[in-house]
Structure 1
């Protein structure tokens, strides 16, 4: 703060203690709101916070996956608002770039802190399983059902049988947002009540990977009753930005991550390592999962990653005002919105809305695949509002 000097003037705290000591003090601020308040004290304090990238440093301290972002960008709703001043000196351009970094990371820090306050199941759909014993009756899609019995039948995914107990299996899921802060994994192994001694077909251990798909936009597919989607298991289809430690599994169901981890890209892979239980009828090892959940919180809709080019997932994008956008706003776009802003917000809104729709109406795999096709929003002349749009696309599914 400013202090009274001997000659009646005022001292700036930063000048009084020097930049090195000031930096050590500012690094002790461990909440984004504290840095925001510090930057509001004076112009010199704001410049000190911006020039030393304290907000970026704090974000990486809160969540190390943030280091995967190589750059940030502000995407405005109106194209003309994003235009840079013609003939802008390089010094001013550098200042604007630092201020942009500060604004984006300040917003990200606030989102990371608020995302820790509550959790929900973030799984939107099943992408693939490394094997299935009896497809589609034992499809991985069964792991989305919260109940152990559906329509009078046991609901679970089963791997193919193996003679070697060390053969692993993997399950891949798509989350409800491209940016989710995840803090807990829940897995319920299947207990075969119809077999002697009611064996539990768990894996020996579980490991989690999170990242994004490298497939071209619009080509991602999901498990359905007709398609096991095994091609989606190939490692070259994904970039993993987080890998958890191995968690021993038997009857345990909840695995708390060592710290909340940011999933950049909305893909989670469950690695089921090793087998415990043999099936008596064929003397082979199996892994069976009844239910799976990824507990966390999608970040705010004004923070996104690039969806048009998988190679650009390292660019964090801030869309001011996107949090207040509704589905009707998207449908009623008159063409004045910038293409990138509209595309990013549309995708976020669609995925979140579909997540709620599937939970409310228990849609099956075919209906999920239909609704999760390429993002294509209709014009307002075709449908009056988003509820009517969704009802038309789900015609015939609501009575399941």
Structure 2
């Protein structure tokens, strides 16, 4: 190795940053840190993990602070003479590396955890929005679907509101299945003409808590001042067909706040008995990558600024218990391996080379993903 030089020293910081920012996988940034102490210092000092995370998910720019929850260190202004400067830089590096890695490691098809409210419901609770979380058109020999109220004007839209499994999720697809009324003459399908999706959070948590489940609400309440929508999709055409229609977002969208709104525009089917237009949905499925349990997001103010919280001792937070077979289990159905003495970087490196994994015990998926 005699005569070999360190390209970071040879090229200088500006060119070196441009080269390293060509990396597309957060795991590669971790590998760079493992090359030498000088490379590790360079990556941390220039915030390359954070830059990569922001490039992959621009919506994370609203994360105003990064807090290590265990020590509750509050962010402060970083100055050259500040003895805590390196500690903060290391913390940001660790958190954003984990964040980028956690958001890109696995995909779930059940990112919608709760149906909150519909803009209207025809027969509550029989035709409740809660039914849209059921994958089948029938539950216990009864039809399972949500139905809007009837309208004489086919242009009246409807809104469906859902809570996601995590306060921070990367959403790639949303699937919607219109309902076919198999108990009506002609088996009509009550689809919408088009669909649009919004991701965001309530301006105040109490606004969401005050929403009565399945009570009718005007479109104004859904699109007005109660929510901050950080992402709005283009409008997708919906077919009048009774199958799970897949709507792929142009780019993966980061939802900060864990709220999904589905806007259904245009009515195509009249009900024969009353001559009114309805929209009916049998099932909604949200595909994406929720944040790992080691993280959480707290909204700071109505503008959308938020705090990213990183729980270093995630095993303690999950209260894992030993099963009779000697394996570790937990109420949230995650299994974690213990961090080695070198800490978070060694844990990721072990995972990359097969020494550790986190398994999601999901009925529909056998995916494994690193912590």
Query: TM-score band (shorter)?
Result: 0.7 to 0.9
Matched, 1:319 2:319: no
CA distance in 1, matches of 2:11, 2:2: 15
What are the within-5 Å matches in structure 2 for residues 215-234 of structure 1?
Answer: 215-216=204-205, 220-221=209-210, 224=213, 228=215, 230=217, 233=222
- How far is the alpha carbon of 1:223 from its aligned partner? 5.3
CA distance in 2, matches of 1:240, 1:180: 14
CA distance in 2, matches of 1:21, 1:167: 55
SS at match of 2:155: coil
Q: Is the Cα–Cα contact under 8 Å of residues 104 and 289 in structure 2 kept in the other structure? A: no
- How far is the alpha carbon of 1:324 from its aligned partner? 5.6
SS at match of 1:297: strand
- How far is the alpha carbon of 1:133 from its aligned partner? 1.5
CA distance in 1, matches of 2:147, 2:197: 19
- How far is the alpha carbon of 1:121 from its aligned partner? 0.5
Equivalent of 2:68 in 74, 78, 81: 74
Matched, 1:124 2:113: yes
Structure 2 counterpart of 1:102: 93
Cα pair distance change 1:246/1:312, threshold 3 Å: closer
Q: Is the Cα–Cα contact under 8 Å of residues 129 and 233 in structure 1 kept in the other structure? A: no
Structure 2 counterpart of 1:111: 102
- How far is the alpha carbon of 1:118 from its aligned partner? 3.1
Cα pair distance change 1:168/1:90, threshold 3 Å: farther
Structure 1 counterpart of 2:136: 147
Deviations for 1:340-386, whole angstroms, at most 9, x for unmatched residues?
xxxxxxxxx98x57xxxxxxxxxxxxxxxxxxxxxxxxxxxxxxxxx
What are the within-5 Å matches in structure 2 for residues 241-320 of structure 1?
Answer: 241-250=230-239, 251=241, 253-306=245-298, 314-320=306-312
Deviations for 1:232-274, whole angstroms, at most 9, x for unmatched residues?
7463222111222211111261112223322211111111122
Deviations for 1:159-213, whole angstroms, at most 9, x for unmatched residues?
1122222211100011222122222211110011222321111111111111112
- How far is the alpha carbon of 1:135 from its aligned partner? 1.9
CA distance in 2, matches of 1:206, 1:186: 11
Deviations for 1:55-88, whole angstroms, at most 9, x for unmatched residues?
1121122222212212222111x66xx599xxx9
CA distance in 2, matches of 1:151, 1:22: 63
- How far is the alpha carbon of 1:291 from its aligned partner? 0.9
Cα pair distance change 1:219/1:120, threshold 3 Å: closer
Structure 2 counterpart of 1:165: 154
More moved, 90-99 vs 287-296 = 90-99
CA distance in 1, matches of 2:125, 2:229: 28
Q: Which runs of 5 or more structure 2 residues have no equivalent in the other structure? A: 322-329, 334-371
Q: Is the Cα–Cα contact under 8 Å of residues 294 and 310 in structure 2 kept in the other structure? A: yes
Deviations for 1:254-305, whole angstroms, at most 9, x for unmatched residues?
1122233222111111111221112222222211001111122321111111
- TM-align CA RMSD: 2.9
Matched, 1:25 2:19: yes
Q: Is the Cα–Cα contact under 8 Å of residues 183 and 295 in structure 1 kept in the other structure? A: yes
Equivalent of 1:175 in 136, 144, 164: 164
Q: Which runs of 5 or more structure 1 residues have no equivalent in the other structure? A: 330-348, 354-400
Q: Is the Cα–Cα contact under 8 Å of residues 51 and 98 in structure 1 kept in the other structure? A: yes
Cα pair distance change 1:259/1:33, threshold 3 Å: same
- How far is the alpha carbon of 1:108 from its aligned partner? 0.8
Query: Normalising by the residue count of structure 2, what TM-score does the alignment of the two structures yield?
Result: 0.76
Aligned residues: 318
Structure 2 counterpart of 1:377: none
Structure 2 counterpart of 1:14: 8
Cα pair distance change 1:111/1:267, threshold 3 Å: same
CA distance in 2, matches of 1:219, 1:16: 55
